[in-house]
Structure 1
Amino acid sequence: MRPTAFGWIDYDSSISPDRDRAQVSRLAQRLGYRVVWADVRSVLPVVDQVRNTGAAVVVMPSPYHVDPLVLNRLMEVVDVETVLPRLSFARWVVFGLGR
């Protein structure tokens, strides 16, 4: 079973949601993930939706689909991958927790 990627598109900032969806799907597949898409009707913040799915990574068309604070919060939970520009944001690692 392949790990899960959470597909995220901000429809307010997307010029072509269908194209963005296809690009996110292709990148996730190329990275070895199966995609679970955000529920566009959900009132939950994207970070909470990601936690609920148990995804290992969020894949989005560009870093502009979330604001910097949301990106920071996502990186506390998962890795983040963007299609264009092709970027990888590794999840924050906190040393010394649990000791």
Structure 2
Amino acid sequence: MPSISACIPDEDEDNLNEVAMLLDEDKSKVIRKALRERLADLRIRFAVEQYQTGEISTNQAARIAGISIAEWLEIARERNLTSQLPPADLAADVDSAREL
């Protein structure tokens, strides 16, 4: 497993220590969990933004977010997302969804 180093503000270190103690885990494990969860959130947020502007299709949004099309459609429904894609791209997304 590769190793990285980062400088963090004192308040973040205090928060990290507190969460590690609450979870009864070492700081490295907590950092890995936090990084994994936040990266997933960032991928979804980017996909939402790109989808809303019509830059990407449903399939592309799911791929960017790292989730299935069904999971993406659930996120889109929860967030009341509307696509700005042309009808041909929407038809391709419908075809892909039918293949599920």
| Fold-level similarity (TM above 0.5) | no
Normalising by structure 2, report the TM-score. 0.27
Q: Higher Cα Rg: structure 1 or 2?
A: 2
Normalising by structure 1, report the TM-score. 0.27
Q: Which has the higher contact order (CA 8 A, sep 6+)?
A: 1
